[in-house]
Amino acid sequence: QGSKLYTAQPAATSTLLPEFSLKDRVIVVSGGGRGVGLTQAEALLEAGAIVHVLDRLPPPAEGSDFARVAARATGELGTSITYHHVDVRDQKVLNEIVGGIADKEGRMDGLIAAAGIQQETPALEYSAEDSDKMLGVNVTGVFMTAQAVARQMIRLKQKGSLVLIGSMSGTVANRGLICPAYNASKAAVLQLGRNLAAEWGEHGIRVNTISPGYIVTAMTAGLFEAFPERKTAWPDANMLKRLSYPNEYRGAAVFLLSDASSFMTGADLRIDGGHCAW
């Protein structure tokens, strides 16, 4: 009898608590062409949002993951996801595109800034160009994307929520992972988030960061090929003893962009399986 309590499944038609709804909210997702960004974009669509993706990948082809999500959005989910080809380091184009989205939709409600790059090079071999490139995308690109979106929220006199994707690498040194500039860039994302939250709070704009642990995506696939021992070492470095998958960051994105987190700003949501040292 009692076990029924534990085996009962929610009804297939169950809905989210209303405060998690993103119905008709206009949300920009940078780096949403694939990986974590695209997975989070799909979750936002499921919660009712209208999504605009900014990515520098070539426009998505038929049969791509993006095309599948787009077909689901306009079909089953009754909303839309639009792809905009842009490099987030190009401030002028970024402002034009985000301004155009706000004009077309008549509102601007949120951002996930997931566009980011990784490069492994021993510190002594790092060039100034490599370091500038990393910080240019992961810090300045994130900053300028947040600025472009916040500018439209303020122009439209709207409150909103910005989510910047950092990394646990912003607060821990990853032994065996050679990416000093990446870790520095992710530490900067944390502090950027807190300061933007302080500056834009008076406009009702919330800014939070998500700091993921290791995720199985195209970004990490290359790292595993080069160093197969990481396949066991990395899972061993967290309490759950495994890597994570992009879909394990869906709920956090919906939570932080929705009214469910209405009093949360300047915070970091660390999702790393309890990453710890031996």
The verdict on 137 binding ligand NDP (CB under 6 A) reads yes
Please, what sign has the CA dihedral across residues 91, 165, 202, 49?
Answer: positive
Which candidate in 182, 231, 245, 249 is catalytic? 182
Q: Is 34 in the site for ligand NDP (CB under 6 A)?
A: yes
| Residue 117 in the binding site for ligand NDP (CB under 6 A) | yes
* DSSP-derived secondary structure letter, 253: H
Which backbone phi and psi does 205 adopt, to 5 degrees? -100, 120
Q: Within the chain, how many helices (H) and strands (E) appear?
A: 10, 7
Rounded CA separation 37/253 (Å):
10
Calculate Rg over the CA atoms of the chain: 19
The Cα–Cα gap between 70 and 81 comes to 6
Output 200 or 234, the one with its CB closest to ligand NDP: 234
89 interacts with ligand NDP by CB under 6 A:
yes
CB of 212 to ligand NDP, least distance (A): 4
Check binding of 141 to ligand NDP (CB under 6 A).
yes
By the rule CB under 6 A, 248 interacts with ligand NDP: no
Alpha-carbon dihedral of residues 165, 168, 170, 172, nearest 10 degrees? 180
Q: Is 31 in the site for ligand NDP (CB under 6 A)?
A: yes
- Asked if 219 touches ligand NDP (CB under 6 A), the answer is yes
- List the one residue from 26, 29, 33, 254 that touches ligand NDP (CB under 6 A): 33
Binding of ligand NDP at residue 55 (CB under 6 A)? yes
CA 185 to chain centre: 15
Give CA–CA dist 197/207, Å, rounded: 5
Using the rule CB under 6 A, which residue among 26, 27, 28, 36 binds ligand NDP? 36
Q: CB 196 → ligand NDP: shortest distance, Å?
A: 16
Told to judge if 186 belongs to the known catalytic residues of this protein, a careful annotator would answer: yes
Query: Does residue 238 interact with ligand NDP by CB under 6 A?
Result: no
The interface region with ligand NDP, picked from 19-27, 34-42, 60-68, 146-154 by CB under 6 A, is: 34-42
Active-site entry in 186, 214, 241, 245: 186
Instruction: Please tell me whether residue 56 binds ligand NDP under the rule CB under 6 A.
Output: yes
Active site residue 133: no
- 37 neighbors 271 (Cβ within 8 angstroms): no
For residues 165 and 189, the answer to whether their CB atoms sit within 8 Å is: yes
Whole-angstrom distance, CA of residue 41 vs CA of residue 83:
11
Nearer residue to ligand NDP within complex by CB, 68 or 89: 89
Q: Is 120 in the site for ligand NDP (CB under 6 A)?
A: no
Q: How far is the CB of 106 from ligand NDP (least distance, A)?
A: 25
Distance CA 265, CA 139 (A): 19
CA nearest neighbour of 219 among 38, 42, 45: 38
Those residues whose C-beta lies under 8 Å from the C-beta of residue 60, and which sit 6 or more positions away, are 33, 66, 67, 70, 83
If one asks whether residue 217 binds ligand NDP (CB under 6 A), the answer comes out as: yes
Active-site positions read: 182, 186
Summarize as ranges the residues that interact with ligand NDP (CB under 6 A): 31, 33-37, 55-57, 87-89, 114-117, 137, 141, 165, 167, 212, 214-215, 217-220
